[in-house]
Chains A and B, each alone.
Chain A
Amino acid sequence: MIQLIAFYLFATVVIASGTLTIMARNPVHSVLWLILAFFNGAGLMVLAGAEFIAMLLVIVYVGAVAVLFLFVVMMLDIDFSELRAGFIKNFPLGMLLAIVLFVELFVGLVARSAGHLVLGKADGSGAPLAGKSNIEAIGALLYSRYLFLFEAAGIVLLVAMIGAIVLTHRQRSDTRGQNVGRQIARRPDEATVNVKPEVGKGVTL
């Protein structure tokens, strides 16, 4: 029963915060709502017994979104003094989100300890996963059954990387690269010169 309550709690908050992500006028608020949506998505995954995917959601998405957030702040023309002035005004909203996250964390943990949710069953009850842990099960599938797709996905990422470099990399002539070989081969007597300047005359290098 508690799983069902937790499920509906998470699902409602996901949908609500998803809607608010696209409705919010302030892009920073949008990102905050998005983070809330990801957290609740992770909660749903925990309920379904997929802890690993839940962790991925939090670490990858929320982590990546934090970076995205920075990009948004950097690229949009946001007045920081105005933003700081709004801190007190936005403080209750921030606290509310934090409280919601905390309550959900608590509910999620309690629900999880009561056995995980079996998807597709109306009452949401089910037996615990047999044997393997999540990561073991995913790893075993990725490197056997889905080997071809896994490798192909690697190439997709490689193509994305090549693309980013091709589109942005420039050959610059005014930078000085480090030549390790020359650095190591340099000898003290080449690097220093002993001069004896006459009085009143400078040193020319």
Chain B
Amino acid sequence: MDWQHSLLLVAPEELLSLGGLLLLLAAGWGGDKIARAASIAACIALAAAMALVAPALAEGASGPATSAFFGQFRADAFASFTKLLIYGSAIAALAVAPQFFDRYKVMRAEYPVLILFAALGTGIMVSASDFMTLYIGLEMNSLASYVLAAFLRRDERSAEAGLKYFVLGALASGILLFGVSLTYGFTGSTGFAGVNIALAAGGPMATGAVFGVVFVLAGIAFKIAAVPFHMWTPDVYEGSPTPVTLFFATAPKVGAMAMLMRVALEAFGAQPGVWQQIVIFAALASIVIGALGAIGQTNIKRLLAYSSINNVGFILIGLAVATQQGASAMLTYLAIYVAMTIASFVAVLMLTDANGEPVEQLVDIAGLSRTRPWLAAALAAVMFSLAGIPPLFGFWGKFVVFQAAVAAGFIPLAAIGIAASVIGAFYYLKVVKVMYFDEPADKVTGASDLPHKLLLLVTSLFISPLGYLATIWLGALSDSAAAALFHAA
């Protein structure tokens, strides 16, 4: 093995860990005074990491040349595509944090450090081509996430969110590890390539190996908040500080979804029959429960949590078909989903009252269109886009996923998905109705700083009909990333 080659392939990870360590030292000496400067430095480190991963995507890198450290790590176009989304989300989570935390006087220098390490762990997850790498990346991301969820430690809801996330996350990690050890026991390898070869060889799978696959999928399903492992999501999303919720709904979710794709299609790719049923069930159940659960919600953050469960269901449809087209559709959907999620949480962060306290109840944003027309318009665009109503870009994501399902002959799956998305449209439209047709509650009067406005503008433009200008470009990138996944060997 060529060390230089391997070390070059993990350059973004090296950069992020060095950046994190330096920021930690700076935080140790400078204290909370340097929190803002540290956030900016962390943004720069993440942007530099994005610049480092971008070439692999542009070249469509795949095959053995992208494999590092004896096949434990893979820096191909697929990893590069998802890493761009992850690091971008981390930058968004850093940009909106100072205004939020300053209100509670807890903008601490550890926040950017933890976000940086969480992004690093998520990046390792998507690059993992060995179960050990996968687990270490997952734990790095999870440990940082538990702490971030409880970051407002004086706030009871935040502490509860952190504890709940920690206990359930530890359980899910245990289930995942158990599945990995079963898989290892029955295939004799922890590397995805080795597992794939072992599973392809011996006809039908051994029962123990099937159990291994099921446990691994259950563990990952927890991380992506797919039904039936979704129960923690509304509580954690509601209780966590909103910038952290923005992070949870984007980076770790993209990471875990990409990890699931790699595990299912690379490691277990030889036996799609074993996991397809599970994925189909999880997809349909997530769509339906995500849509039904959201209907009764009065808190916007809880509503968005159910919306993310719902979206995960649609993304999983792309995985259930187990084709390259499906994988490409998933990536396109993920990119649009990240933009929609950032837009929605930034809009929620901008809902503040005169004292700067966050406004989270649905009734309090009644008549927003008359008091804050632009913010209401952006939020309405996000809601229409999440519902997948045609002129907006959110429609495109659902369209490509269903197209892949139909092309692979999964017509009933696509039909049920489309029918269930109509239920979902109900609560998205309810938010729009409250903002546009109800009597103004006149609660949202606070101002927001520049990063919020800028982020909202950029993401809203992306999910607006203007986004369709990017479809060819986005489709080509998704295709090359998905091709890298299918031509790994």
Contact residues of A with B, CB < 8 Å?
A: 145-149, 151-153, 155-156, 158-160, 162-163, 165-167
Asked if residues A155 and B120 are in contact (CB atoms below 8 Å), the reply is: yes
Q: Which of B132-140, B248-256, B448-456 contacts A (4 or more CB under 8 A)?
A: B132-140
B interface majority secondary structure = helix
Asked if residues A156 and B139 are in contact (CB atoms below 8 Å), the reply is: yes
Question: With contacts A147-B69, A148-B69, A160-B143 known, is A166 near B114, CB below 8 A?
Answer: yes
Asked if residues A166 and B136 are in contact (CB atoms below 8 Å), the reply is: no
B172 shortest CB reach to chain A, Å? 16
A165 to B17, CA, bound (A): 19
A109 shortest CB reach to chain B, Å? 28
Q: Does B150 lie at the interface of the complex (its beta carbon under 8 Å from any beta carbon of A)?
A: yes
Asked if residues B136 and A153 are in contact (CB atoms below 8 Å), the reply is: yes
Chain B residues 58-73 with CB under 8 Å of chain A are 68-70, 72-73
Q: Which residue, of B114, B133, B136, B139, has the highest number of chain A Cβ atoms within 10 A? A: B136
Which one of B69, B143, B150 lies within 8 Å of A156 (CB-CB)? B143
Q: What are 24 sample pairs from A and B whose C-beta atoms fall under 8 A apart?
A: A146-B132, A148-B10, A148-B69, A149-B72, A149-B132, A149-B136, A151-B17, A152-B136, A152-B140, A153-B136, A155-B140, A156-B121, A156-B143, A158-B117, A159-B140, A159-B144, A162-B114, A162-B117, A162-B147, A163-B146, A166-B147, A167-B147, A167-B150, A167-B153
Contact residues of B with A, CB < 8 Å?
A: 6, 10, 17, 20, 24, 68-70, 72-73, 108, 110, 113-114, 117, 120-121, 124, 132-133, 136-137, 139-140, 143-144, 146-147, 150-151, 153, 162
Which one of A147, A153, A163 lies within 8 Å of B114 (CB-CB)? A163
Q: Nearest chain-A residue to B136 (Cβ)?
A: A152
Give every chain B residue within 8 A of A160 (Cβ-Cβ). 143
B121 shortest CB reach to chain A, Å? 8
Q: Nearest chain-B residue to A152 (Cβ)?
A: B136
A36 shortest CB reach to chain B, Å? 22
A125 shortest CB reach to chain B, Å? 21
A71 to B150, CA, bound (A): 23
B132 shortest CB reach to chain A, Å? 6
Give every chain B residue within 8 A of A149 (Cβ-Cβ). 69, 72, 132-133, 136
A172 shortest CB reach to chain B, Å? 14
A161 shortest CB reach to chain B, Å? 10
Which one of A146, A147, A162 lies within 8 Å of B113 (CB-CB)? A162
A148 to B150, CA, bound (A): 30
Q: Which residue, of A146, A156, A158, A159, has the highest number of chain B Cβ atoms within 10 A? A: A159
Question: With contacts A155-B117, A163-B147, A166-B108 known, is A148 near B140, CB below 8 A?
Answer: no
Give every chain B residue within 8 A of A152 (Cβ-Cβ). 124, 133, 136-137, 140
A interface majority secondary structure = helix
Asked if residues A148 and B147 are in contact (CB atoms below 8 Å), the reply is: no
A159 to B16, CA, bound (A): 13
A156 to B17, CA, bound (A): 11
Give every chain A residue within 8 A of B72 (Cβ-Cβ). 146, 148-149
A147 to B133, CA, bound (A): 11
Give every chain B residue within 8 A of A146 (Cβ-Cβ). 69, 72, 132
Give every chain A residue within 8 A of B117 (Cβ-Cβ). 155, 158-159, 162
Q: Nearest chain-B residue to A166 (Cβ)?
A: B110
Q: A148-B10, A163-B114, A167-B147 are in contact. List 12 more A-B contacts (CB 8 A).
A: A146-B72, A147-B69, A148-B72, A152-B124, A152-B136, A152-B137, A155-B17, A155-B20, A156-B121, A156-B143, A162-B113, A163-B144
A163 to B162, CA, bound (A): 11
A44 shortest CB reach to chain B, Å? 15
Give every chain A residue within 8 A of B24 (Cβ-Cβ). 158, 162
B432 shortest CB reach to chain A, Å? 39
Give every chain A residue within 8 A of B153 (Cβ-Cβ). 167
A165 to B147, CA, bound (A): 10
- List of 7 A-B pairs having minimum Cβ-Cβ separation, nearest first: A163-B147, A148-B69, A166-B110, A152-B136, A156-B140, A159-B143, A159-B117
Give every chain A residue within 8 A of B144 (Cβ-Cβ). 159, 163
A197 shortest CB reach to chain B, Å? 45
Give every chain A residue within 8 A of B108 (Cβ-Cβ). 166
Asked if residues A159 and B136 are in contact (CB atoms below 8 Å), the reply is: no
B329 shortest CB reach to chain A, Å? 31
B8 shortest CB reach to chain A, Å? 13
B371 shortest CB reach to chain A, Å? 37
Q: Nearest chain-B residue to A157 (Cβ)?
A: B143
A152 to B127, CA, bound (A): 13
Give every chain A residue within 8 A of B137 (Cβ-Cβ). 152
A162 to B146, CA, bound (A): 12
Which one of A147, A156, A158 lies within 8 Å of B136 (CB-CB)? A156
Q: Nearest chain-A residue to B143 (Cβ)?
A: A159
Q: Which residue, of A148, A151, A163, has the highest number of chain B Cβ atoms within 10 A? A: A148
A151 to B132, CA, bound (A): 13
Asked if residues B68 and A148 are in contact (CB atoms below 8 Å), the reply is: yes
A69 shortest CB reach to chain B, Å? 20
Q: Nearest chain-A residue to B124 (Cβ)?
A: A152
A143 shortest CB reach to chain B, Å? 12
A151 to B139, CA, bound (A): 14
Give every chain B residue within 8 A of A156 (Cβ-Cβ). 121, 136, 139-140, 143
Give every chain A residue within 8 A of B136 (Cβ-Cβ). 149, 152-153, 156
A152 to B69, CA, bound (A): 13
Give every chain B residue within 8 A of A166 (Cβ-Cβ). 108, 110, 114, 147, 151
